[in-house]
Structure 1
Amino acid sequence: MHKRAVSTIAILVILGLGALAWFALGAGENVAVPAPPRELGPVPVRTLPLTGRDLAVEVEAHGTLVARREAVLALEVSGRIERVADAWRVGARIEAGTELVALDPKLFELAVASAAAARSEAETGQGLAEIELERARKSLERAEEARVLRVREFERLVELRDFATDSQRDQALGAKIAAEEDAEAAAAALRAAEVGLASAEARTRAAEAALARAREELARSHLTAPFTGLLVDRPPSAGSMAAAGASLGRLLDPASIVLVARVPAWELSRIDVGNPARIEFPTTPETAPAAPEDGVVSAVGVRADPLTRRGEIEIAFRDTTKRRVAGRFARAVVRTEELSGALWVPRSALDFTGGEARAFVLRTEPDGTSVAEERRPVFARSVGEGFLVESGLSVGETLITHPLDRIADGVAVRALPPEEAAER
């Protein structure tokens, strides 16, 4: 039994060694021998000659048409609407001063009549106060004359002491005192009359103010167009109640329509009032393309929204006679500066790997071959889809624009001719 087991194990070992030998010989025959590296030659690249150019620096803005002159039509007094102008229609042109709405005037006319009666009563009271004042003045004059006379008589009797009795002097003194008291009473009556007249005059002025207010409210029961413009909303209904200050509609001046647009906050400082602009309107499959219009920047905001980091500018249309629709969306391109001989490179010709811009230019070696030379340009600012170069690149050099992912500093390159570059 033991011998049989040993024989079986020996046979299995021999078979295993044979299988390993066969596998090793067969695998060795199928192992691929790596081919020697193939020389690909210079990398074909597209290029762009760097030249100075006349460049218009532009800022793009988007916004909505807004009427700078738009009024909410509202009455300043409350009442029932008696009539509405037949000319009130949506979009109708209304001349300044045209009556649009009139309230029932009965209550206002009654208020005017009541105020007029109150003024007449106040004027009558003022007239009586003036008469009383004149009477008090004359009474004071008479009292003063009597006082002067009694004083002189008393002084004369005092001087003639040897010829006047005590009884005469006492009578003269009493008359003098009585005359002085009468004069004081007359003066007090005059002051009271003056106060009475002042009060009557105040009542007259108050009555006149009340009458003027009643007349003004009667006048304000009529709503007129504050300026020439177009009606925006449907008219109110005759017979309905109108509350003071409640909107009955809106009137806008089409000549005052401007584009209120938003631009990035960092662009606000580059835009000045007077910069020319081109205003464009988006089209849809249902609308015909609209021709761009000329405009000019009329206002520049000084504050940006802290959430959107955008600020507002206002662009006025040069042609104010054309009819436009407020609320319409528009795009504007504002020309902020004209540059001469500027060096500009497209964003697509730069490599921003690592967060820093890199550029590659052609450098000709002494043997006539071309290699890529890496540059780290510094930009003054972005303009459109590229940048204005401040340093790092120069006019006259040739910029490599494609393929940036296959080149590095010192890599041999071959500039493609224009026709071949276009095909690629």
Structure 2
Amino acid sequence: MAFSTRTIMLTGFGVALVAGLGYVTFRDDPIPVDYAEVIQAPLEITINADGQTQVRDLYEVASPIAGMAMRSPVDVGDVVAKGETVVAIVQPSSSGLLDERSRRQAEAALQEALAARQVAEADLQQARETQAFAKSQFERTQALVTRGVTSITRLEDDTQRLRVADAAFEAAEARIEMAKGSVERARASLLEPSESEGMEESCCVELHAPSDGVILSVAAISQRPVAIGAPLVTIGDAKDLELVADILSNDAVRLQPDAVAHVERWGGSDVLEARLDRIDPKARTKVSALGIEEQRVDAYFTLVSPIEERPNLGDGFSVFLRIVEWRADDVLQVPLSSMFRNGADWAVFVGNGGTAELRAVTPGRNNGQMTQILQGLEVGEKVVTHPSDDIADGVNLVERSEL
């Protein structure tokens, strides 16, 4: 039986329609993914740490005497010159008020000192008389020896007596001075504070700046009593800053001398540069926020960025440091998020013409974002980032940005 052309065309159209519907129904939809290109660029491995600035050389001015520190002549931020600017004034302590018992003891001490002075004066008078008599005896014996009336032995005896008398007279004079000093000391202990103020007004100790710089802190603005060695002001050069960061001890041992650190989050828009100066030789135990005991150590860095690039950065300011542990140029690398474990190996999915290709790779160092690829990829290839469990070798892929 012959079929008409129309029948054949309708039949062919129906078969094509059924085939198309079957393909659409049973085909695998491509999985939308994000790609990242394999690049060759510099890679840095850093140790991140919070830190703060501090003036390299601090000068603490302390009170050399016990007394009353006058109201501070300087304020925080004042510029001072070495040996010229008065940064603190201390008045020596005045005697306190005497209670009845102390007053009676002081009065008794004064009477005792006066009596001792009278005894010393009497001793001096006696020594003077003895000296005069010994001198006259010596002169008489000397004249007799000259005339041959007496012996040389008697002259020697009188000479010895004169020397003893002279020494006794000098000792008596010294005891007089000692007695006078005791009297003055006893009288001074009876002075009331109001009587000694006039004497102490000219005795204030002015302390000058030991170095050029600015006032970083003042212990107290108002007048107050201070003890010997009490801190008064702190001086330093706010432009000569160093950075100190608290890092784990096992991170510190991997840092090389003069390691570079990028200084961020200090308040300015530019990233500053610093270099490792030294690491404390002794670590300390510190409990982390999670309650874990850690061994931490302070690392000190010298700011090498010009002062013009860090205006208003001062002492005690907060900073964030990325300390370079390792760096290399022209490193083949991919995002760390593109890698996953495939058995005992590491692997990535490479987008090959819209199809996923499972590729084993050999990773190197990573900085938490990018990882070095030692083997398995080439520059310009595209890898899938954050691959889901639905992706397998040979699965169709479509870039999410093309949807």
Show the counterpart of 1:11. none
Tell me if the contact between 2:356 and 2:394 (Cα under 8 Å) persists in the aligned partners. yes
Tell me if the contact between 1:344 and 1:389 (Cα under 8 Å) persists in the aligned partners. yes
**Aligned mate of 2:234, from 216, 229, 250:** 250
Tell me if the contact between 1:65 and 1:330 (Cα under 8 Å) persists in the aligned partners. yes
Closer/same/farther in 2, CA of residues 337 and 369 from structure 1, 3 Å limit = closer
**Per the alignment, in what secondary structure is the counterpart of residue 330 of structure 2?**
strand
Tell me if the contact between 1:73 and 1:250 (Cα under 8 Å) persists in the aligned partners. yes
Show the counterpart of 1:101. 88
Tell me if the contact between 1:277 and 1:333 (Cα under 8 Å) persists in the aligned partners. yes
Q: Does residue 1:75 correspond to 2:63, yes or no?
A: yes
Show the counterpart of 2:395. 413
Closer/same/farther in 2, CA of residues 423 and 266 from structure 1, 3 Å limit = farther
Show the counterpart of 2:357. 372
Give, in whole Å, the separation in 1 of the partners of 2:367 and 2:204. 56
**Per the alignment, in what secondary structure is the counterpart of residue 343 of structure 1?**
strand
Give, in whole Å, the separation in 2 of the partners of 1:330 and 1:291. 12
Give 1:62's aligned amino acid. D
Q: Does residue 1:345 correspond to 2:334, yes or no?
A: yes
Give 2:396's aligned amino acid. R
Tell me if the contact between 2:60 and 2:233 (Cα under 8 Å) persists in the aligned partners. yes
Aligned length: 262
Give, in whole Å, the separation in 2 of the partners of 1:84 and 1:235. 11
Show the counterpart of 1:114. none
Closer/same/farther in 2, CA of residues 293 and 220 from structure 1, 3 Å limit = farther
Give, in whole Å, the separation in 2 of the partners of 1:41 and 1:241. 85
CA drift at 1:349: 1.0
Q: Does residue 1:385 correspond to 2:380, yes or no?
A: no
**Per the alignment, in what secondary structure is the counterpart of residue 48 of structure 1?**
strand
- Output the aligned Cα RMSD: 3.9
**Aligned mate of 2:276, from 270, 284, 297:** 297
CA drift at 1:242: 1.9
Give 2:277's aligned amino acid. S
Q: Does residue 1:316 correspond to 2:297, yes or no?
A: no
Bigger radius of gyration, 1 or 2? 1
Q: Which has the higher helix share?
A: 1
Show the counterpart of 2:49. 61
**Per the alignment, in what secondary structure is the counterpart of residue 383 of structure 2?**
strand
Q: Which has the higher strand share?
A: 2
**Aligned mate of 1:325, from 280, 302, 314:** 314
Tell me if the contact between 1:273 and 1:297 (Cα under 8 Å) persists in the aligned partners. yes
CA drift at 1:311: 4.0
Give 1:327's aligned amino acid. G
Give, in whole Å, the separation in 2 of the partners of 1:219 and 1:406. 89
Tell me if the contact between 2:72 and 2:221 (Cα under 8 Å) persists in the aligned partners. no
Identity rate of aligned residues, in percent? 21
Closer/same/farther in 2, CA of residues 381 and 265 from structure 1, 3 Å limit = farther
> In the TM superposition, what whole-angstrom CA distance separates every residue of 1:113-156 from its partner, at most 9, and x where no partner exists?
xxxxxxxxxxxxxxxxxxxxxxxxxxxxxxxxxxxxxxxxxxxx
Give, in whole Å, the separation in 2 of the partners of 1:280 and 1:79. 46
Tell me if the contact between 1:369 and 1:412 (Cα under 8 Å) persists in the aligned partners. no
Give, in whole Å, the separation in 2 of the partners of 1:381 and 1:311. 25
Closer/same/farther in 2, CA of residues 220 and 104 from structure 1, 3 Å limit = closer
TM-score (normalizing by structure 1): 0.51
Give, in whole Å, the separation in 1 of the partners of 2:363 and 2:260. 25
**Per the alignment, in what secondary structure is the counterpart of residue 26 of structure 2?**
coil
Tell me if the contact between 2:217 and 2:234 (Cα under 8 Å) persists in the aligned partners. yes
Tell me if the contact between 1:96 and 1:225 (Cα under 8 Å) persists in the aligned partners. yes
Give 2:394's aligned amino acid. A
**Per the alignment, in what secondary structure is the counterpart of residue 348 of structure 1?**
helix
> In the TM superposition, what whole-angstrom CA distance separates every residue of 1:333-362 from its partner, at most 9, and x where no partner exists?
3344441331222121123699x7742233
